[in-house]
Structure 1
Amino acid sequence: MTRVVAQGTFDIIHPGHVHYLSDAAEMGDELHVIVARRENVTHKEPPILPNRQRRDVVAALEVVDEAHIGDEDDIFVPIEDIDPDVIALGYDQHHDVDAIESELASRGLDCMVRRASGRDPRYDGELLSTRKIIGRILDDRS
């Protein structure tokens, strides 16, 4: 059995998230998703929704076998616990593949790091970004 881990913020689930998680699920037999803790999101605006709510919504997706909330101090702790064969990164996630592979090796974790494919909007106005969804809400409701 090939165990895959995907991770992200998943603040407002949109078709881009569904594509990423579906692509990640196709990389193996079992998909675990680690939902970033709000307090650990420093590379962009923090999520609006609480950690547990975001985890519960991700867990409800059919392609997800199990969803977890990330560790408070060490993002690699859940990966150690899950012991995946593959870590699936989103096509546009900011992570450095070489740095991840180096950290995995230093912890004795033998798994591949792969990038999921991207997805273009399928119709005019389709939004594949939480930031863009929030922007549209603010524009349309103000």
Structure 2
Amino acid sequence: MTRVVAQGTFDLLHPGHLHYLREAAAMGTELHAIVARHENVTHKDAPVLDGRQRTEMVGALDPVDEAHLGHPEDIFVPIQRIDPDLIVLGHDQHHDEAAIADALATRGIDCSIERAGPREPDFDEELLSTSAIVQRILDRHH
């Protein structure tokens, strides 16, 4: 069995999220998704939906075997508990792979790190980011 972890904010689910989770699931036999807590999202606008709602939505997706809400202070706590063989990062996530590898080694977690590939839009107007969805809503309602 190959246990895989994918992680992200997963706010306002869109086809890009599904692509990432499907690709991560294909790299193993069991996919665990870790959903970032509101207070840990500091690299972009705060999520629209509460962490429990986002976790419930991600957990309902077919590629995901189990969804977990992240730890409020230490993002590696759920990774230690899950003990994955592989962590799959999204193609556009801001994470530094070398820094993650160092943090995993420090904690005695032996797993690989890979990046998922991007999903190409199926049509010109397809939205593949939460910020693009929010912007379209704002544009249409102002």
Asked if these proteins are the same fold (TM beyond 0.5), I'd say yes
The Cα shift of 1:141 comes to: 1.2
What secondary structure does 1:48 align onto? coil
The Cα shift of 1:124 comes to: 1.7
Aligned to 2:32: 32
Matched AA of 1:27: M
Q: Distance in 2 between matches of 1:23 and 1:13?
A: 16
Q: Distance in 2 between matches of 1:120 and 1:77?
A: 33
Query: Which runs of 4 or more aligned residues in structure 1 lie more than 3 Å from their structure 2 counterparts after TM superposition?
Result: none
Q: Distance in 2 between matches of 1:112 and 1:22?
A: 18
Q: Distance in 2 between matches of 1:128 and 1:87?
A: 22
> RMSD across aligned C-alpha pairs, in angstroms?
0.4
The Cα shift of 1:134 comes to: 0.2
Identity %: 63
The Cα shift of 1:80 comes to: 0.1
Q: Does 1:22 align with 2:40?
A: no
Q: Distance in 1 between matches of 2:2 and 2:32?
A: 11
Cα deviations by residue, 1:53-104 (Å, 9 ceiling, x for unpaired)? 0000000000000000000110000000000000000001000000000000
- TM-score normalised by L of structure 1: 0.99
Aligned to 1:68: 68
Aligned residues: 142
Runs of 5+ unmatched residues, structure 1: none
